[in-house]
Amino acid sequence: MDLLEELKYELSNEFNLRKKRLNPSKINFVKTQSSPIQIISPGGLNILIGRNMRQNDLITFKLSKKQDLWFHAQESPGSHVLLKSSSKVPNDDDIQIAADLAAFFCRAKGNIKVPINQVKVKDLQKISKAGLGCVSFKNSEIIWGNPTRGKEYIKKNTE
């Protein structure tokens, strides 16, 4: 329920919807916000997955380092996926599973394959005067993500 309240608060603030009607006692979830999903890649690297705009912004601009890899579905709303690769070079399986997770956590997850942008965090830039988690980037590489593999991996590694 905390995630739903967080999303309600986020949308209300983003679009200036009924701010006065928000019950102050329900805003306590801001102090105890839900955390991004964190799992381990096949090669032992941390993968962070944002589930809303606030978490996307957090993992993209506060929890990342310049050499980490960022993944997002091309031309489709979805989660930011961060492969923590600043301390160790990721192998092909690490990169592919991060792309598969980005494919699973996007609106295009009903497709067999989803084009995923892979970008080094140093090439990301926050868009000024835009909402949380809005980014522009340069030097991206397209990887095809498989949402089914992403779903299987997240299910297997979060139980």
d(CA 58, CA 50): 8
- pTM of this prediction exceeds 0.95: no
Q: Do the beta carbons of residue 115 and residue 73 sit within 8 Å?
A: yes
d(CA 47, CA 70): 10
d(CA 13, CA 45): 34
Binned at pLDDT 50, 70 and 90, residue 31 comes out as very low
Q: If you write DSSP's letter for every residue of 131-143 in order, what string do you get?
A: -TT-EEESS-EEE
Q: Do the beta carbons of residue 120 and residue 139 sit within 8 Å?
A: yes
What is residue 146's three-state secondary structure?
coil
Is the model's pLDDT at 102 over the cut of 50? yes
Between 147-158 and 92-104, two packed helices, what is the crossing angle to 10 degrees?
A: 100
Instruction: Give the pLDDT mean for 36-56.
Output: 94
Residues 6+ apart with CB under 8 A from 156: none
Closest CA to 85 of 68, 97, 108: 68
Q: Where are the alpha helices (DSSP H) in the chain?
A: 2-15, 53-61, 92-104, 147-158
Binned at pLDDT 50, 70 and 90, residue 7 comes out as low
Distance, CA of 96 to chain centre: 15
Pick the range with the lowest mean pLDDT from 4-13, 33-42, 103-112, 135-144: 4-13
pLDDT value of position 41: 96
Q: Tell me the two tokens of residue 127.
A: 């868009």
d(CA 71, CA 85): 12
